[in-house]
Amino acid sequence: MSYKRVLLVILIISISGLLVYFLVQMEQSAIQQTAESHPIPLPYNWIGSITKKQIAEPSGITYHPVRRSLFIADDSGSVHEVNLHGIFIQAKGVNELDIEGITMDPSTGLLYAAVEDDEVIIELDPETLAIQRKFKIARDFEGERLLKKGGMGIEAIAFVPDALHPEGGTFWVGNQSFSLKTTAEPSVVCEVLVPLRSETAAISEASIINAYKMNFIDISGLAYDPQDDVLVLISDTTNLLVEMNREGTILSKYLLPGDEQEGVTLDGLGYMYIAQESGTIIKLGDRRLR
């Protein structure tokens, strides 16, 4: 093949690659614009409240697949465990910390809770609810203060496992804000690198490695859906459930039932649980499109 033909083939391949790239970007942009502008009612089957005993102001909820139970954090700094029918198992106060979200690492079974304003992730033993370690999140990312001292603080947390990641996965946290003005505290979802495997100290540092600003306020809950590899966010003020991929693209927005939604989790069995600030835990049959 002549030199000119080689150059022509390379040129054609390069142009084709650029066209594919731009088409993919246009499609992603169209998906995001549609999702952001047209929230639809959440498709679900109503199961109802599983609450057997009111929990004062729940602030987060997570499902534990090994124990087949729900762990619920409340605003008073306590963590409660109930079974999937809402029957009490255990509860413990955690040093009166302002816990605003809770998640777990499926590879170890350990729990992780987000402490508002301190911007700290604490590690908890699910058997005793005792604190094992603390990880302090750096507030800045790429020269910008995302987690402001004295601000609304982190309100939601989810762990995304990755067997190939040196730390076993990364955390995602939602910073609460009630304004989208450029001068206000950002409504942002951050991916946080925590040294779960590489550090053993009682207190370690964590860092933000990605951040995505949202076009809605009051991020109050966060969960990971491994079936679709998406993050599920909820907003209390706007009554929204939002699906976002790990590149920060909004895939869909749903209108939530109920009110005062402070936490969300999925049990992998087709059910969604929503913790409401009133103390009620709502169970729904999850019928989102797959």
> Three-state SS for 5?
helix
What pLDDT is stored for residue 112 in this prediction? 98
- Domain co-membership, 32 together with 79: no
C-alpha dihedral sign at 159, 114, 175, 75 = positive
Q: What is the largest CA-CA distance in the chain?
A: 80
- Domain co-membership, 67 together with 203: yes
Residue 111 has which token pair?
Answer: 């729990």
What pLDDT is stored for residue 178 in this prediction? 77
- Domain co-membership, 172 together with 257: yes
- Domain co-membership, 21 together with 84: no
- Domain co-membership, 240 together with 107: yes
Contact in structure between 212 and 248 (CB atoms under 8 Å): yes
- Domain co-membership, 106 together with 228: yes
What pLDDT is stored for residue 151 in this prediction? 67
What letter represents residue 266's amino acid?
A: L
Residue 173 has which token pair?
Answer: 């946290």
- Domain co-membership, 65 together with 9: no
Domain that holds residue 220: 43-286
- Domain co-membership, 81 together with 160: yes
> Which one-letter DSSP state was computed for residue 4?
H
- Domain co-membership, 25 together with 133: no
- Domain co-membership, 103 together with 84: yes
- Domain co-membership, 56 together with 29: no
Contact in structure between 121 and 194 (CB atoms under 8 Å): yes
Regions in the chain scoring below 70 on pLDDT: 1-11, 14, 16-37, 151, 289-290
Domains held by the chain: number:
2
pTM: 0.85
- Domain co-membership, 30 together with 55: no
Phi, psi of 28 (to 5 degrees): -65, -40
CATH number of the domain to which 151 belongs: 2.120.10.30
